[in-house]
Structure 1
Amino acid sequence: MTEDSVLKAVLAAVREVAPGAEISGDTALIAQRVIDSLSLLSLVSLLEKEFSVTIRDSEILPAHFETPLAVRDFLKSKGC
Structure 2
Amino acid sequence: MLRESALATIRSLVQGLAPGEEIDDETPLIERHVIDSLSLLRLVTELEEEFHITIRDTEIRPTHFATIRAIRDFVARKAGL
TM exceeds 0.5? Answer: yes
Q: 1:60 is matched with which residue?
A: 60
Which whole-Å CA distance do the structure 2 matches of 1:18 and 1:39 have between them?
A: 9
Instruction: Write the letter of the residue equivalent to 1:29.
Output: L
Instruction: Write the letter of the residue equivalent to 2:10.
Output: V
Instruction: Write the letter of the residue equivalent to 2:20.
Output: G
Task: Give unpaired runs (5+ residues) of structure 1.
Answer: none
1:18 deviates by: 1.5
Which whole-Å CA distance do the structure 2 matches of 1:2 and 1:24 have between them?
A: 19
1:16 deviates by: 1.3
Task: Give unpaired runs (5+ residues) of structure 2.
Answer: none
1:64 deviates by: 0.1
TM-score, normalised to structure 1, is 0.94
1:11 deviates by: 0.5
1:22 deviates by: 1.3
Q: How does 1:13-52 map to 2 (within 5 A)?
A: 13-52=13-52
Which whole-Å CA distance do the structure 1 matches of 2:43 and 2:18 have between them?
A: 9
Which whole-Å CA distance do the structure 1 matches of 2:21 and 2:53 have between them?
A: 25
Which whole-Å CA distance do the structure 2 matches of 1:23 and 1:49 have between them?
A: 23
Count of paired positions: 80
RMSD value over aligned CA atoms? 1.1
TM-score, normalised to structure 2, is 0.93
Which whole-Å CA distance do the structure 2 matches of 1:31 and 1:53 have between them?
A: 26
